[in-house]
Amino acid sequence: MSIRVRSTNPTDDEAREALQGRPAEEHVPSHNITKPEGEPAFSISDLNFWYGTKQALTNVGLDIPRKKVTALIGPSGCGKSTLLRCLNRMNDLIPGVTIEGNVRYRSADIYGPGVDPVEVRRRIGMVFQKPNPFPKSIYENVAFGARVNGFRGNLDDLVEGSLQRAALWDEVKGDLKQSGLALSGGQQQRLCIARALANNPDVILMDEPCSALDPIATLKIEDLIRELSTDYTIVVVTHNMQQAARVSDYTAFMLTDEEITGQLIEYAPTEMMFTQPGDQRTEDYISGRFG
Amino acid sequence: MTRELFQKELTDLQDDVLILGSMAEKAVVDSVEALRSADLEWAQRIIDEDAAINKKRFDIEERALFVIASQQPLASDLRSIISALMIITDLERIADHAEGIASINLRLGESETIPRRLGYIPAMADRSIAMLRDSLKAYVERNVEEARRVCDADDEVDRLQDAVYDETLRGMIEEPATIERNTYYLWTAHNLERIADRCTNICERVIFVVTGRMEEINVSKY
C-alpha cells in the first residue's frame, strides 16, 4: 500500500507525526462490499482521511463502475461528501487535511507525483448542493471553462451542445444573454451541469444536487442524471433515499459510529440495497429506524 | 425505534391480513361441515357471506397502497407490505374455493341421497385446513422452517386427491347412476387441492419476507 501524507498546514505537523506513528488499524473486509463488473472508473483502497486530527474516513475501499450512477448515502457526518471530494482532489483546497491510501482513476493514481489537480478536476467535474452560476450570461457561464482552457473549436456549438445535454437548451435558447442568476433554481442547477459538461469531463461528481430544489426541478435533474449516465460516470451524494433508489445503479452506505468514523458498511447494486440489504445497519438506515 | 406511526400501520396491516385469514378459514371449515351434514341453508349462507370477504380484501389492498404512497417503505418493510398484498389475494381465492364447495353442496342437494358417501374428502379437508392455519401461523411468526414444513404437507393433500379420483372413478364404473354425484366429489377434491396450493403460496411469501428470496417451494402436479 502506498502511503502519502499531505498537509498544507504546518501547525498540524505534530498531529501528522502522531498519525504516522500509530499502528495500522485492523481492516476486516466486509462481505457486503460488491465488486462491480468490468473495468472500474475509480478503484479506491484503504482510504483514510483526516481534517487536522479528526478522522473522517476509515479504511474505505470500493470500485466505482464506469458509465454508471453510483450513489453515496448515509447520515450526516458519515463521510460521504468527504469521500466524493477525494475523487477529484477537491479536499486539497482545505488546509490541514491528511490523506492515506489509494484513489486510482482508470488505474492512474490521482494523488501520484506530477499529477496536476486542475487537470484532475477538468476530467472529473463537480456539481454542488446549491446552484452556483457565475454572475454572467447563460452563454458565458457555459463557455467560461472552455475560454480559460484556450478552447479552439466553435464556442457556439459547444454552448448549444452542453445546454442540450443538460436538458436546458429549449428553455433558454431564446435569450442566452440573460444572466444565469435570473433562472429558476432547477434551471440554475442544470446550467451548472451544462457548465461542467462543457469541459468535456469523463466523470461528474454531484454533492446533493437536488437538496435546494423543488420536487419538479428535482425530478428533472434525476431524469438528466439517468440520461447522462450513458456517456458519463456519475457519483452522487444524496440524503434522499428514494432518489438514490431512482437514479443509481450502485449504492454505497457509509456510517460513523461510536468507534469508527466514516466507514463503508455496504456497497451493492441499488436494487439489492433497497429491497434486501445485507447489513442490519443498512436496513435500519434506509427504513428510517436509525438511532 | 423511530417511525412509530409507520410501525403501527404495518402492525395494523398484518392484523387485517389475519382477520381476512380467519374469515377465509371459517368459510372453508363451514363449507366442509355443511357438505358433511348436507346442510343446504348453511351452504347458501357461506355463498352469501363471500361478498364480505371480497370487500375485506379490497379494504386491505387500499390500506396497503396508502401506506406505500405515504411512507415509501424500503427493504423488509417493503417486502412485508408486498407480501401482505399477495397473501390477501391467496386468502380471497381460498374463500372462493370454499364458496365453490358450498355451491357443490347445493347441487348435490338436488340429486344426492343421504348419508353422503364422501370417502377421502373429509381427510383431505382436514389437511388443507391445517395447512391454512399453519401457513398463517408461519406468517405471524415469520417462521421460515414452519413455512417449509407446511409446504411439505401439500404432497399428502395431492396423494389424497389421487385417492378421491380413484374412488370416484371406480364408483362411476360400478354404478353409472352415481356419475353426476361423483363428478361433484371430484370438483370438491379439486377445490381442496387448490386451497392447499394457495397455502404453499402464502408460505413462499413468508420465506420472501424473511430472506428476500423468491422461491417456488412446491410445484403442484395438477
Rounded to an integer, what distance in angstroms lies between the CA atom of residue A238 and that of residue A221?
13
Query: Do the Cβ atoms of B78 and A283 come within 8 Å?
Result: no
| Edge-to-edge strand ranges of the sheet holding A263-269 | A124-127, A203-207, A233-237, A69-73, A250-255, A263-269
Which residues in chain B have their CB less than 8 angstroms from residue A277's CB?
A: 75
| pLDDT 10s digits, A155-204 | 999 999 999 999 999 999 999 999 999 999 999 999 999 999 999 999 99
Q: Is there a domain that residue B63 lies in?
A: yes
Rounded to an integer, what distance in angstroms lies between the CA atom of residue A189 and that of residue A153?
25
Chain B within 8 Å of A290 (Cβ-Cβ)? yes
| Test mutation, A251, A271, A273, A276, chain B, max B CBs within 10 A | A276
At A3 the pLDDT is: 37
Mean pLDDT of chain A: 89
Report the number of distinct structural domains present in chain A: 1
Q: Is there a domain that residue A148 lies in?
A: yes
Q: Is there a domain that residue B106 lies in?
A: yes
Which residues in chain A have their CB less than 8 angstroms from residue B3's CB?
A: 287-289
| Test mutation, B3, B9, B74, chain A, max A CBs within 10 A | B74
In degrees and rounded to multiples of 5, residue A113 shows phi and psi of -65, 140
Reduced to 3 states (helix: H, G, I; strand: E, B; else coil), residue A62 is strand
Query: Do the Cβ atoms of A289 and B76 come within 8 Å?
Result: no
Rounded to an integer, what distance in angstroms lies between the CA atom of residue A120 and that of residue A110?
7
At B63 the pLDDT is: 94
Reduced to 3 states (helix: H, G, I; strand: E, B; else coil), residue B79 is helix
Rounded to an integer, what distance in angstroms lies between the CA atom of residue B195 and that of residue B193?
5
pLDDT > 60? residue A2? no
- pTM for the predicted model, two decimal places: 0.81
Chain B within 8 Å of A288 (Cβ-Cβ)? yes
Chain B within 8 Å of A271 (Cβ-Cβ)? no
Measure CA B88 to chain center.
10
Pairing of β A203-207 and β A124-127 = parallel
Report the number of distinct structural domains present in chain B: 1
> Residue with C-alpha cell 389492498?
B61
Q: Is there a domain that residue A196 lies in?
A: yes
Q: Is there a domain that residue B21 lies in?
A: yes
pLDDT above 70 as % of chain A: 89
Query: Do the Cβ atoms of A288 and B76 come within 8 Å?
Result: no
The parent domain of residue B201 ranges over: 3-211
> Residue with C-alpha cell 417503505?
B73
Q: Is there a domain that residue A291 lies in?
A: no
Q: Is there a domain that residue B14 lies in?
A: yes
pLDDT > 60? residue A7? no
The parent domain of residue A63 ranges over: 4-286
Q: Is there a domain that residue A12 lies in?
A: yes
Rounded to an integer, what distance in angstroms lies between the CA atom of residue B215 and that of residue B119?
35
| Test mutation, A275, A287, A289, chain B, max B CBs within 10 A | A287
At B1 the pLDDT is: 54
Q: What is the predicted ipTM?
A: 0.73
- Domain with residue A260: its CATH number is 3.40.50.300
Chain A within 8 Å of B79 (Cβ-Cβ)? yes
Query: HSE on the CB side for A9, CA within 13 Å?
Result: 16
Residues of chain B predicted below pLDDT 50: none
- Domain with residue B81: its CATH number is 1.20.58.220
Closest alpha carbon within chain A to B77: A287
Query: Do the Cβ atoms of A286 and B73 come within 8 Å?
Result: no
